[in-house]
Amino acid sequence: MAKVWFVGAGPGDPELITVKGQRLLREAGAIIYAGSLVSEACTRWAGEGCIIADSKGMTLEEITGWLIAQTAQHETVIRLQTGDPSLYGALIEMVQPLDAAGIESAVVPGVSSAFAAAAAACESLTLPEVTQTVILTRVEGRTPMPEGESLRELAQHKTTLCLFLSITLLPKIREELLAAGWQDDNPVLVVQKASWPNEEKIVRGTLGNIRDACRAEKIASQAMIVLSPTLGARHWAELKRSKLYDSDFTHRFRQAENH
Q: Which residues in the chain belong to E strands, given as ranges?
A: 3-8, 30-33, 51-54, 76-81, 104-108, 134-138, 160-164, 187-192, 201-206, 223-227
pLDDT of the residue at 46: 93
What pLDDT, on the 0 to 100 scale, is given for residue 256? 61
Q: What is the pLDDT of residue 34?
A: 86
Please give the pLDDT value at position 255: 63
Mean pLDDT of 119-127: 98
Q: Counting beta carbons within 10 angstroms of the beta carbon of residue 32, is it exposed (0 to 12), middle (13 to 18) or buried (19 or more)?
A: buried
Q: Report the helix count and the strand count for the chain, using DSSP H and E.
A: 7, 10
- Distance separating alpha carbons of residues 259 and 249, to the nearest angstrom: 9
36 or 130, greater pLDDT: 130
pLDDT surpasses 70 at 63:
yes
pLDDT at 122 > cutoff 60: yes
Q: Span 3-108: which CATH code? A: 3.40.1010.10
Tell me the domain boundaries of the chain.
3-108, 113-235
Please report the pLDDT score of residue 91 as a whole number. Answer: 96
| pLDDT greater than 70 at residue 244 | no
pLDDT at 250: 56
Segment 166-180, tens digit of pLDDT: 999 999 999 999 999
Give the number of other Cβ atoms within 10 Å of residue 238's Cβ.
5
CA neighbor of 199 nearest in space, from 10, 8, 12, 9: 12
Please, which pLDDT band fits residue 23 given cuts at 50, 70 and 90?
very high
**Of all residues in the chain, what percent carry a pLDDT higher than 90?**
82
Whether the CB-CB separation of 116 and 197 falls below 8 Å is answered with no
Q: What is the pTM of this model?
A: 0.89
Q: Give residue 238's pLDDT band: very low, low, confident or very high (50, 70, 90).
A: confident
CATH architecture of 113-235: 2-Layer Sandwich (3.30)
Res 137: pLDDT? 97
Q: What is the mean predicted confidence (pLDDT) over 2-27? A: 95
Over range 111-121, report the average pLDDT: 97
Residue 113: is its pLDDT beyond 60? yes
- Is the model's pLDDT at 159 over the cut of 90? yes
Q: What is the pLDDT of residue 245?
A: 61
**Which tens digits make up the pLDDT trace of 180-200?**
999 999 999 999 999 998 999
For residues 24 and 34, the answer to whether their CB atoms sit within 8 Å is no
Mean pLDDT of the chain: 92
